[in-house]
Structure 1
Amino acid sequence: MISPNLQTRLSSIARSVSSGGSHLNISFEFFPPKSEEMELSLWNSIRRLEGLNPSFVSVTYGAGGSTRERTHRTVKRILDETSLKPAAHLTCVEASRAEVDEVIREYWAAGVRHIVALRGDPPTGLQDGQYTPRADGYQNATELTAAIKRIGDFEVSVGVYPEKHPQSPSLDFDLDVLRQKVDAGATRGISQFFFEPETYLRFRDAVADAGIEIELTPGIMPVTNFKGLKRMAAACEANVPGWLAELFDGLDDDAETRKLLASAVAVEQVLELEREGVENFHFYTLNRAELVYSICRVLGVKAVSA
C-alpha cells in the first residue's frame, strides 16, 4: 500500500517547482540491448525520454569492449532516427591503440561528436586489485582522451568518483588524474552515483580548490531494486546510507511503493543539489523510462512540443 505521506510529499515538491518552470539541464544513460526484447524496451525508453529534450544521451560500452558492435549500432540508430545527441562510451581495455583509433574514426565518420572516455573494467587483467593495461593499448583514460582529441574535435566527457575510485590510493590521487584528463582535452566529468548530496558537494569543492576547471555533472541513480543497488554499489565502493536501507526494508513484494520511494529520494537529491548551484544532472536509466520520466516531471522538466 502506498503511504499517503509519500504522495503528499511528492505533490508538495511538484507544486514548489512548477510555478517557475525548470532550469535544469538533464542527460540520460542507456546500455546496448542483448536481445530483441531488450531492444524493444530500450527504444520504447528512448522514444519516451526524447521529448524531454536532454542535452545528450550516453550509450555504455561493455567490459573489455564486449559490446563494441552493439554500442556502435545503438549510437548510429539514435543519430539516424531521433533528434537526440548521442555520446558514445569508449574504453581502452582489451584492445590495441590501432583498434581503439579505428573505433574513434568510425564514430567521427558516423557523425558522433561526443565520446565518454573511460579506462573500463576488463573481464581479465585485474590481479590483486590492480589493473594491468594491455601492452599495445592505451594505458588509461587520460591517454584515451588525448587520442580522441588527436583524431577529431570531439567533446570528451570522463568519469569521476565523488567517493574516490575503488582502486585509487586517495582522493588527492584522483584529483591529479582528473587534472591530467583535463590537460588532455576532457571538458566534462560525469560522476558515479551517490546518495548523500554532501558527498558530491565535497568533491565539487575539492575540484575547485585544486584549481581544476571542468564542468561537473552528478550521476543520479533512481533505485527500485535495493538488492541490485547494493551489488552495484559494492562494485564501485559507493556508500549506501542506512536511512536508504531502512526506507526499502520490508518492501520486497511492494513494487509500487518502491517506485514512489525511488522518485522521492531522487527528487529530493536533485533539489538539494540545485539549491547549491548544480544545474546539470545525468540520470542512469537502466533502460527504463517511466521512473526517470516521472522524476523529471516532478522537477518541472516537461516534454517539448513537436
Structure 2
Amino acid sequence: MNSPLPTPHSALQFSVEFFPTATPEGLVKLRGVRDQLAALGPEFFSVTYGAGGSTRDRTLQIVREIRAAGLDAAPHLSCIGATEASIREHLAEFREVGAKRIVALRGDLPSGMADPGEFRYASELVAFIRRESGDEFRIEVAAYPEVHPQARSAASDLQAFLTKVRAGANSAITQYFYNADAYFRFVDEVRAAGVDIPIVPGIMPIASFSKLARFSESCGAEIPQWMRRRFEAYGDDAESIRAFGLDVVSQLCERLLAGGAPSLHFYTLNQANLTTALIERLQSK
C-alpha cells in the first residue's frame, strides 16, 4: 500500500536531489535515504540523468518508486545527444509513472561522442517540451548565480537563462554556492529583465572539504577564502569539518530565506544525515 505524502514540520519549503545508483545495494540504501528525508516533508525529489542518457533506466526506476510511495518526483532530462524522437519517448515514460515536473537541462556531451544531437541548448529542450506537452509538466531549469563555467561572459549567461525562461520554464534551481550576495544579485538582474519566476537556491551540505574542493573546481562554484582557510586548518578532523560545515550552510540557508528565497533545493549526494540535520535546524527556527 502506498504511504501518504508526509506533512512538513514547519512552513519551510524544500526539495532534495538524488543520483541513480550503480548497484542493487546502492538502490536499497537509497530507499532508506528517501524514507528518512520523506518524513521531513519535501516538496519533491529530483533524480539526475547521466550524460547522453547513460542512466535512463535507473533514473526512471527511482522516479517510479518515489511516485509509488505517494511522493512527487522530478526526473532530470538533458538534451545533448538526444533527438526529438528520444525526448518524446522520455515524456511518454514520465507520463506513465505519473511525473508532473521535469528538470530540463542541456547536459554534458558524453566522452567520445562527437554529435550533440538535435538540441544545442536547454532553451530548445524547454520549447520542445512545451510544443509537445503544453502545460502538462512543470519545467525547472538551471541557474548559475556565479556564472556558468562555460559562459563567454556574465551578460551572455544571463541572456541564456532568460531565453530558457521565455521558452516556457516555470522555475529555476541554482548551482550550489556559498556566497549569498551572488544569489541576490542574480535574482535582482533577472527581476530587472522582467522575469519573475521562482529561483530556488541549490544547497550543498559539506561532509568532506577535499571532495568539495575538487567538485567545486570542476563546476565553477566558488569556495570563499575565509571558508577554505578554516576547513584547511581542521586537517583530517572529520567531526570539526562536519560541525563547521553545518554552521556555515545553515547560516547561508537562513540568510537566503530571510532575503526572500522561495524554497531550498538540497544536493544530498544520496546521503540523508547532513541534509536532515540542516532541515531540522531550519525547521526549528
Could you state the TM-score of these two structures normalised by the residue count of structure 2? 0.91
Task: Give aligned-pair identity as a percent.
Answer: 40
Q: Once the 2 structures are TM-superposed, how far is the Cα of residue 262 of structure 1 from its aligned partner?
A: 1.8
Aligned to 1:98: 85
Counterparts of 1:263 and 1:279, CA distance in 2? 21
1:39 corresponds to 2:27? yes
Distance apart, 1:276 and its partner CA: 1.1
Give the superposition deviation at 1:176.
1.6
1:117 to 2:98 alignment? no
User: Secondary structure at 2:32's aligned position in 1?
Assistant: helix
1:23 match = 11
Structure 1 CA distance for aligned equivalents of residues 229 and 166 of structure 2:
43
The 5 A counterparts of 1:276-291 are 276-291=259-274
Where 2:165 maps in the other structure, the secondary structure is helix
Partner of 1:169: 152
Provide structure 1 residue ranges, at least 5 long, that are not aligned to the other structure: 1-20, 127-131
1:4-56 CA distances to partner (integer Å, 9 max, x unpaired)? Answer: xxxxxxxxxxxxxxxxx843211101111111222122111100000111111
Q: Distance in 2 between matches of 1:150 and 1:77?
A: 28
Over 3 Å counting, the alpha-carbon distance change for 1:270 and 1:111 in structure 2 is same
- Equivalent residues of 2:49, 2:78 under 8 A apart: yes
Q: In 2, are the aligned partners of 1:101 and 1:147 still within 8 Å (CA)?
A: no
Alpha-carbon distance change, 119 to 301 in structure 1, aligned in 2, over 3 angstroms: farther
Match of 2:43?
Answer: 55
Question: Comparing both chains, which one has the higher relative contact order based on Cα–Cα distances under 8 Å and sequence gaps of 6 or more?
Answer: 1
Q: How far apart, in 1, do the equivalents of 2:10 and 2:240 lie?
A: 26
Partner of 2:6: none
Kindly report which structure 2 residues correspond to 1:266-285, keeping only aligned pairs within 5 A, or say none. 266-285=249-268
CA displacement at 1:140 relative to structure 2: 1.4
Alpha-carbon deviations, 1:172-193, whole Å to 9, x = none?
2122222221222101110000
Pick aligned residue for 2:66 from 40, 65, 78: 78
Q: Please point out which of 134, 140, 144 is paired with 2:116.
A: 134
Q: CA RMSD in A?
A: 1.8
- For the residue of structure 2 that corresponds to 1:277, the secondary structure is coil
Q: Residue 154 of structure 1: which of 130, 137, 144 is its match?
A: 137
Rounded to whole Å, the distance in 1 between the matches of 2:77 and 2:112 is: 18
Amino acid corresponding to residue 95 of structure 2 in structure 1: W
Contact persistence 1:22–1:299 (CA under 8 A): no
Deviation of 1:63 (Å): 1.5
Residues 59 and 75 in structure 1, CA contact (< 8 A), matched pair in contact too? yes
TM-score, normalisation: structure 1: 0.85
Which residue pairs with 1:107 in the alignment?
Answer: 94
1:178-193 residue pairs with structure 2 within 5 A? 178-193=161-176
